[in-house]
Amino acid sequence: MLIVKPIPQIDESPSSIFLRAASLNGLEKVRYLLQFKDKNGKEPLKQGLSPSWRSPELFNSYMNALGITLPEGVSAYRQVKTIECIKVYFTEDLYLPSLIYRGEGSATCPHCLADKPYLRKIWSLKLIDICPVHRCDLVRVCPQCQWPLTWHRRCPKTCSCGFDLSTCEPTFLSMNNPDEVTEAIADKRQYSLNFLSDWTLRKERKQQRENRHR
């Protein structure tokens, strides 16, 4: 088991728990957790970290191996291949198309990180571009190295280049400017329509291919 164990938050993403576990135990890279050995000398995380994000069973087994206790309601996503969805545990029965999944660690709110340095699960959804708490744009590119953010970093709060993401200065959505709010809502509505249209088209094409092979 780990010497220092993170306490998972109810809205924390799976990758964030691994990142904090690595950081708290002095590991320079999160992938070093793969070398972790249990009391029997085995490497229980050898299947990789990212596969566990879409398998609650594998994720839970990893948490047990690391000695991390998950609060009720904290879980990984569930892949449902038959309908091309991932199950996201914001609620127990909320299924979302896999195309809506942005990717772990690829967006963040600097102010949320400054308050509590962990990645929120909701940031992994493409339809979420604005922090619902601070009403600022989510940061997706490191202002120092100019590379898109990924979960491959030392801890949730820093970029892989070492930049402290909690010090970013994001753009705020002014609630005192009705035109700005209206434009932001219109842009998001259009994005959602384009997304759903693209998803529907992909499903239709897939169905056509399957019908041809029958």
> pLDDT by residue (tens digit) across 64-104?
888 899 888 787 877 766 555 555 544 455 666 777 778 78
Give residue for tokens 């100019």: 146
Round to whole Å and give the CA distance between 114 and 35.
30
CA gap 121, 128 in Å, rounded: 11
pLDDT range class, residue 35, cuts 50, 70, 90: confident
Cite the beta strand spans of 27-138 per DSSP E: 78-80, 85-87, 95-97
* Rounded CA separation 138/115 (Å): 15
Q: Are 75 and 59 in contact (CB under 8 A)?
A: yes
Record the pTM: 0.77
Distance, in Å, from the CA atom of 15 to the CA atom of 24, rounded to the nearest integer, reads 14
